[in-house]
């Protein structure tokens, strides 16, 4: 108790609404006794330190007695929890603040784990107040920006409730890479109580944590505790001396709160009451589903509690039919919630998540008898919520689940053809983000659990779902299928072994002694390794021999060639049945005596020749013609192609000269390089000439004129022309590929070359656009692809129309009808063509020039009396279907049909309408040719100024815009064809409200009864009088009260009249239209006499209860500690109730959020929130009424904490 406090201030504090209250106990709550000990424990003058109770404990550890570090062992604080410490003299135990500890206080929190730097704290909040939940996420632990979701229970996402009460805030501290998350709940209601969960996702990283929100109902202390519960220690001391001892009060609170806690835990298991209501109204088969949805783990306790509740169920007094436990609706649709109440006059309110629903275009209220209907139009995910309806003091609850629309496949899977070891991504795009899809391979579902064994993985990228194979194998080939709740698609994955291609073969070499020999080859796969062999023996690297593998190129280099190096060299790739061979020729140099002059000589060695002095080179490869020459003096070599002389030393084609060798080099041979090349060597002794024919071979040109000539339901015929240029080698066949239009993945149609120029492609999907292309193949390789064919669609005509019949025949027309074909196909149907021919003819005449959409047609301008055969053909983009033909010819002649009126059932009796309402009668009839229709009333034609008649071939309409009494009567309808006739009579009665009764008179009065009589009304409204409605009114008040309803007689006896009063009576007449507009009022009154008892009031002077304001309890001076809430209390009386004004230093305290002023039955309280030394001063309370005023003053001193 702070210094300067008094017993009276404590007494007023106890009844103050700001008195600290114990929150409801929960998983992390405290018992009342433990909180009370903590509240009144002796605190040192050091900075207060609050510790957060560890999860699962019953009570928080109190602050240590000595100012010690917060890391002190829990054993040191345990003795203080056992019993409250006595405060040393002069020190005051500060109150435990209700707010969150200030920044100076450093609460000991649980060490964060995972991605959370700060997890959300469980809180307890009063109903109607706002609450903020704060969390921090470490961005350094996340691979990207996180996706934040807040849940209530296990699955209810709060994002769909974002709006007036729920709001979310997310900020990013880029300097520290920390995400600050906040959940704001405004005006907390009881339904917000429960367990919550925060989930953080970023790509493959996911973490979540839970917390609890407990909602307290604000209440005033009515426990009736008296001041005797507060006593001071010490015997024989003055009343104000000694220390406060609250042990008696605390023991009582401990017992009460423990009993409440035990009872609450036993009764409702911490489950909110609205969930109990939902469980009571649910079926037994739905218990487990509801428990799983709302996170109830103690199923056995829940079932025991329900069993006990089932026995105590009492019949609802307000509801005769309640809401179902739950409803489900598709998003975008509407739903109706219907209850039935016992009394239609009871007020009814609808609530959504505790907020009252107001009528609007979204929410429509309907009253149908005792039924009350709430219609929710165009349901969205925001409508997924808890709903309740309240009638008087009773409520019933339900929950509405809004179902997402089906997930559609936007971009389907595509067929793929790959090689072993390639990376494969199968992609499908759906219509909704976060949708669930199922992957199936060859009829077996693919799961994440099996992905580690099968070397595949799943990936989601927005609306795109991917199945990824890092290195595909032959076992991964098959048919893959993707299924959603709104569709499916499938595609084939074809996996082939890689075929190794030789891009550059090994060439034979002729080298001299001590020169370098280089064997070089190039294959298509960089990963392929191999071995080199000489005459069948593997070659090992050595001092003179080097083996290298760079990319796709393999080299064998032999330095300082010797005679023993001559032989056959072979390169064999590992894992392939393939070998590349070449020969190394050793050139011996013989030294002979040569005269000083020797004619030039060309020593031609044509490697790879196909004929004398002819050499073949593949386009793109390098050609080097090394020609050895001799002569003395050394001759001069000249290279020519035709008459063109080559002398360039650099470039793609160049000449290289040595002493005894002349080389002609062509880099990357082209078709234009083909021809006969001549070398001419000259010196003074003569000249020599030699020619070499170079033939350049290449892959052929692409095939030409590739086109699709015909298509079917799942096939197409492809035709093309051979290429103009075969590349110098005969074309051995063709390769074909196919793809869907818009796709970039081609699928091979043949693996062995196809030799023909016409190919039929099968196994295509009807209605899908395809493109095809062709490659030409010769001995050198595969050509470039041809131009793609124009997009084509495999499609077939529809089947023939069904059930062709004749509906009607006249002298010149025939009406046919039929049903659509059984099989329409992907091409749809553009319409139908109707054709006819005479019985003895085979010439079919089209009846319509353009296809018609509907399944019916009238063929006109036919010759009367002819016998004609009809047929119908379906037409679509693929052509005409097989015709549907009538089995028998039709004779073109009108068929006479007798007239007959088909009078509707409701017109076979008197048709009654009210004055002013429209009369609209539709009466069908039959007859051929078209009959003559006549309406009459009483034998005369109807009045065309009031009645509108419209007649067609099959019906007639009788219409009066506003009915009048004169329209009543019998009407006759005549339908006639030549001498054949049919007649019907329609009785119409137009009614209105009757007039008032006549001559209402009080005939007799006896006791408390009166006899009232009257005469029937002059005008009965053209309808029988069904009864009379009688009311009475006291002459003093003239307020009318019902006496009788539906009284059949023209008189009645009115009982239970009050003695001494005089009454008037009025009578309404009633017919089928209701009560008459005006009543008949009685001409005389009924006076009920009473016995003569006279009341004489006494004369006395009324007491004056007014008193001026007077303070019963003054304001005591106070000394408080800064940062802790303070309250100034006093009591005042006076009548009329005085107006109270609080002042600080003679200045009135107005609307300042720091001060809260309350007046509860004369007990005045000024609450100061977190006072500071600035709040020190003189506080005055002034009470004023019309009789005077009173003042009470005190001094408040705010001390800084020591």
pLDDT tens by residue, 400-430: 888 877 888 999 999 998 888 888 999 999 9
pLDDT band at 35 (very low <50, low <70, confident <90, very high): very low
Query: Among 83-87, 205-209, 540-544, whose mean pLDDT is lowest?
Result: 83-87
- Which letter does DSSP use for residue 393 in this model? T
Average pLDDT, integer, range 565-591 = 83
Beta strands in 1076-1144 (DSSP E): 1080-1081, 1086-1087, 1107-1113, 1118-1121, 1126-1135, 1139-1144
Quick one: fold of 409-496? Immunoglobulin-like (2.60.40)
Ordered by start, the domain boundaries in the chain are: 116-216, 319-403, 409-496, 502-584, 600-697, 707-782, 802-892, 898-990, 992-1090, 1107-1199
Does position 28 have pLDDT exceeding 50, yes or no? no
Does position 118 have pLDDT exceeding 70, yes or no? yes
Quick one: fold of 992-1090? Immunoglobulin-like (2.60.40)
Average pLDDT, integer, range 88-111 = 40
pLDDT band at 625 (very low <50, low <70, confident <90, very high): confident
Nearest to 159 by CA among 130, 128, 181: 181
More confident residue, 897 or 943: 943
Q: Is 630 left (phi over 0), alpha (psi -120 to 50) or beta?
A: beta
More confident residue, 222 or 586: 586
Over the chain, what is the mean pLDDT? 81
- Which letter does DSSP use for residue 51 in this model? B
Average pLDDT, integer, range 671-675 = 86
Average pLDDT, integer, range 659-684 = 87
What per-residue confidence (pLDDT) applies to 652?
87
pLDDT tens by residue, 834-853: 999 998 888 999 999 999 99
In contact, 161 and 186? CB cutoff 8 Å? no
Average pLDDT, integer, range 249-263 = 52
What per-residue confidence (pLDDT) applies to 590?
62
Residue range 600-697, CATH number: 2.60.40.10
pLDDT band at 1158 (very low <50, low <70, confident <90, very high): very high
pLDDT tens by residue, 693-740: 888 888 999 999 999 998 888 889 999 999 998 888 899 999 999 999
pLDDT band at 1181 (very low <50, low <70, confident <90, very high): very high
Nearest to 605 by CA among 590, 579, 625, 577: 625
What per-residue confidence (pLDDT) applies to 1172?
92
pLDDT band at 228 (very low <50, low <70, confident <90, very high): very low
What per-residue confidence (pLDDT) applies to 555?
92
Please tell me the total number of residues recorded for the chain in this structure.
Answer: 1202
Q: Encode 558-616 in three state secondary structure.
A: ECCCCHHHCEEEEEEECCCCCCEEEEEEEECCCCCCCCCCEEEEEECCCCCECCCCEEE
> Which helix (H) or strand (E) element contains residue 1192?
strand 1188-1199
Does position 238 have pLDDT exceeding 50, yes or no? no
pLDDT tens by residue, 328-355: 888 888 999 999 988 888 888 999 998 9
pLDDT band at 896 (very low <50, low <70, confident <90, very high): confident
CATH class, domain 116-216, is mainly beta
In contact, 627 and 662? CB cutoff 8 Å? yes
What per-residue confidence (pLDDT) applies to 958?
94
Q: Name 871's bridge partners.
A: 835, 885
pLDDT tens by residue, 900-932: 999 999 899 999 999 999 999 999 998 888 889
Q: Name 425's bridge partners.
A: 468
Whole-number Å distance between alpha carbons of 762 and 78? 85
What does the buried/exposed string (b/e) look like for 172-186 if buried means 16 or more CB atoms within 10 Å of the residue's CB?
Answer: eeeeeebbebebebe
What per-residue confidence (pLDDT) applies to 63?
38
CATH class, domain 1107-1199, is mainly beta
Right CATH for 802-892 from 2.60.40.10, 3.30.200.20, 3.30.70.260, 1.10.540.10: 2.60.40.10
Answer whether CATH 3.30.1490.150 is correct for domain 319-403: no
Nearest to 587 by CA among 568, 608, 566, 569: 566
Residue range 707-782, CATH number: 2.60.40.10
What per-residue confidence (pLDDT) applies to 1192?
94
What per-residue confidence (pLDDT) applies to 31?
35
What per-residue confidence (pLDDT) applies to 876?
87
Nearest to 1125 by CA among 1068, 1181, 1168: 1168
Q: Name 328's bridge partners.
A: 401
pLDDT tens by residue, 359-382: 998 999 998 888 899 999 988 888
Average pLDDT, integer, range 1003-1014 = 91
Task: Tell me which CATH homologous superfamily contains domain 898-990.
Answer: Immunoglobulins (2.60.40.10)
In contact, 418 and 472? CB cutoff 8 Å? yes
pLDDT band at 990 (very low <50, low <70, confident <90, very high): very high
Whole-number Å distance between alpha carbons of 720 and 484? 42
Whole-number Å distance between alpha carbons of 1112 and 1183? 12
What per-residue confidence (pLDDT) applies to 1092?
63
Whole-number Å distance between alpha carbons of 436 and 674? 63
What per-residue confidence (pLDDT) applies to 39?
34
What per-residue confidence (pLDDT) applies to 51?
36
Any idea which architecture 502-584 has in CATH? Answer: Sandwich (2.60)
The first and second tokens of residue 757, run together, are 């120029």
Do the domains spanning 409-496 and 898-990 agree at the CATH topology level? yes
């Amino acid at each position: 108790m702070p210094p300067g406090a008094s017993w009276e201030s404590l007494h007023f504090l106890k009844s103050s609404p700001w008195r600290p209250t114990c929150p409801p106990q929960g998983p992390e709550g405290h018992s009342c006794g433990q909180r009370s000990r903590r509240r009144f424990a002796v605190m040192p003058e050091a900075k207060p330190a609050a510790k957060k109770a560890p999860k699962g404990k019953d009570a928080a550890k109190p602050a240590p007695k000595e100012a010690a570090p917060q890391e002190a062992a829990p054993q040191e604080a345990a003795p203080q929890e056992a019993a409250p410490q006595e405060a040393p003299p002069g020190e005051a135990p500060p109150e435990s603040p209700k707010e969150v500890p200030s920044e100076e206080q450093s609460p000991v929190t649980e060490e964060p784990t995972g991605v959370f730097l700060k997890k959300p704290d469980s809180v307890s909040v009063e109903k109607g107040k706002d609450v903020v939940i704060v969390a921090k996420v470490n961005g350094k632990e996340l691979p990207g920006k996180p996706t934040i979701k807040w849940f209530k229970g296990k699955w209810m996402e709060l994002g769909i409730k974002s709006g007036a009460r729920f709001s979310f805030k997310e900020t990013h501290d880029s300097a520290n890479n920390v995400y600050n998350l906040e959940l704001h709940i405004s005006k907390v209601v009881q339904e917000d109580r429960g367990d919550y969960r925060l989930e953080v996702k970023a790509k493959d990283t996911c973490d979540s944590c839970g917390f609890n929100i407990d909602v307290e109902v604000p209440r005033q202390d009515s426990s009736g505790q008296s001041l005797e519960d507060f006593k001071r220690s010490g015997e024989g001391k003055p009343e104000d001396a000694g220390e406060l001892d609250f042990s008696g009060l605390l023991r009582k609170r401990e017992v009460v709160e423990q009993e409440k806690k035990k009872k609450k835990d036993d009764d409702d298991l911490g489950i909110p009451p609205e969930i109990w209501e939902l469980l009571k109204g649910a079926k037994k088969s739905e218990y487990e589903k509801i428990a799983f949805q709302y996170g109830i783990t103690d199923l056995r306790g829940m079932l025991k509690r329900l069993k006990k509740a089932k026995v105590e169920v009492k019949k609802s007094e307000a509801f005769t039919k309640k809401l179902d436990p739950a409803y489900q609706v598709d998003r975008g649709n509407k739903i109706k919630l219907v209850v039935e109440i016992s009394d239609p006059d009871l007020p009814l309110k609808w609530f959504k998540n505790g907020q009252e629903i107001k009528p609007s275009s979204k929410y429509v209220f309907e009253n149908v008898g005792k039924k009350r209907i709430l219609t929710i139009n165009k349901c969205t995910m925001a409508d997924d919520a808890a709903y309740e309806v309240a009638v008087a003091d009773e409520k019933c609850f339900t929950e509405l689940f809004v179902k997402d629309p089906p997930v559609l496949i936007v971009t389907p899977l595509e067929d793929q053809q790959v090689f072993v070891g390639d990376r494969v991504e199968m992609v499908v795009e759906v219509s909704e983000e976060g949708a669930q899809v199922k992957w199936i391979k060859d009829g077996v579902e693919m799961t994440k659990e099996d992905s580690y064994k099968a070397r595949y993985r799943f990936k989601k990228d927005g609306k795109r779902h991917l199945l990824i194979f890092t290195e595909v194998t032959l076992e991964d080939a098959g048919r893959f299928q993707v299924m959603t709740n709104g569709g499916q698609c499938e595609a084939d994955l074809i996996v082939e072994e890689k075929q190794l291609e030789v891009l550059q073969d090994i060439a034979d070499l002729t080298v001299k002694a001590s020169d370098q020999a280089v064997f070089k080859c190039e294959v298509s796969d960089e990963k392929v390794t191999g071995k080199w062999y000489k005459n069948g023996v593997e070659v090992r690297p050595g001092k003179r021999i080097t083996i290298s593998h760079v990319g796709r190129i393999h080299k064998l280099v032999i330095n300082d060639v010797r005679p023993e190096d001559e032989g056959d060299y072979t390169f064999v790739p590992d894992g392939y049945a393939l070998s590349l061979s070449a020969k190394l020729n050793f050139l011996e140099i013989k030294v002979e005596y040569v005269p000083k002059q020797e004619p030039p000589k060309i020593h031609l060695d044509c490697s790879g020749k196909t004929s004398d002095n002819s050499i073949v080179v593949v386009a793109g490869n390098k050609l080097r013609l090394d020609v050895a020459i001799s002569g003395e003096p050394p001759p001069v070599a000249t290279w020519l192609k035709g008459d063109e002389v080559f002398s360039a030393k650099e470039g793609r084609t160049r000449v290289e000269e040595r002493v005894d060798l002349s080389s002609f080099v062509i880099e990357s041979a082209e078709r234009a390089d083909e021809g006969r090349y001549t070398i001419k060597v000259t010196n003074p002794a003569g000249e020599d000439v030699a020619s070499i024919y170079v033939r350049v071979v290449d892959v052929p040109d692409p095939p030409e004129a590739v086109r699709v000539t015909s298509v079917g339901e799942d096939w197409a015929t492809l035709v093309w022309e051979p290429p103009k240029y075969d590349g110098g080698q005969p074309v051995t066949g063709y390769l074909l590929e196919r793809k869907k239009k818009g796709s970039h993945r081609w699928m091979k149609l043949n693996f062995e070359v196809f030799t023909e120029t016409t190919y039929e492609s099968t196994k295509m999907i009807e209605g899908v656009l395809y493109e095809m292309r062709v490659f030409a193949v010769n001995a050198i390789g595969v050509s470039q692809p041809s131009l793609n064919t124009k997009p084509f669609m495999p499609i077939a005509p529809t089947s023939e129309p069904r059930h062709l019949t004749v509906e009607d025949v006249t002298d010149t027309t025939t009406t046919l009808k039929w049903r659509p074909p059984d099989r329409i196909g992907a091409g749809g149907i553009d319409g139908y063509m109707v054709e006819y021919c005479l019985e003895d003819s085979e010439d079919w005449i089209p009846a319509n020039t353009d296809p018609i959409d509907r399944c019916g047609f009238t063929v006109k301008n036919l010759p009367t009396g002819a016998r004609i055969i009809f047929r119908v053909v379906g037409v679509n983009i693929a052509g005409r279907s097989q015709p549907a033909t009538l089995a028998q010819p039709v004779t073109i002649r009108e068929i006479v049909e007798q007239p007959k009126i088909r009078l509707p059932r409701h017109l076979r009796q008197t048709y009654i309408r009210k004055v002013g309402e429209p009369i609209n009668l539709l009466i069908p009839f039959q007859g051929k040719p078209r009959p003559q229709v006549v309406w009459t009333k009483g034998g005369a034609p109807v009045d065309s100024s009031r009645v509108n008649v419209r007649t067609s071939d099959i019906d007639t309409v009788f219409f009066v815009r506003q009915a009048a009494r004169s329209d009543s009567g019998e009407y006759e309808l005549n339908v006639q064809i030549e001498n054949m006739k049919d007649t019907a009579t329609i009785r119409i009665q137009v009614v209105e409200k009757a007039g008032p009764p006549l001559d209402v008179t009080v005939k007799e009065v006896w006791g408390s009864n009166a006899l009232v009589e009257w005469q029937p009304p002059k005008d009965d409204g053209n309808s029988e009088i069904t009864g009379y409605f009688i009311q009475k009114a006291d002459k003093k008040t003239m307020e009318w009260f019902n006496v009788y309803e539906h009284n059949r007689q023209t008189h009645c006896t009115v009982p239970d009249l009050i003695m001494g009063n005089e009454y008037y009576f009025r009578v309404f007449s009633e017919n089928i239209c209701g009560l008459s507009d005006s009543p008949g009022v009685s001409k005389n009154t009924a006076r009920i006499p009473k016995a003569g008892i006279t009341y004489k009031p006494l004369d006395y002077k009324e007491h004056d209860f007014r008193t001026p304001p007077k303070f019963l309890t003054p304001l005591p001076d106070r000394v408080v500690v800064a940062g802790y809430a303070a309250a100034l209390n006093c009591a005042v009386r006076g009548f009329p109730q005085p107006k109270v004004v609080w002042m600080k230093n003679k200045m009135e305290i107005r609307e300042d959020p720091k001060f809260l002023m309350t007046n509860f039955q004369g007990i005045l309280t000024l609450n100061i929130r977190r006072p500071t030394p600035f709040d020190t001063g003189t506080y005055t309370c002034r009470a004023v009424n019309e009789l005077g005023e009173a003042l009470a003053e005190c001094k408040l001193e705010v001390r800084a904490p020591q």
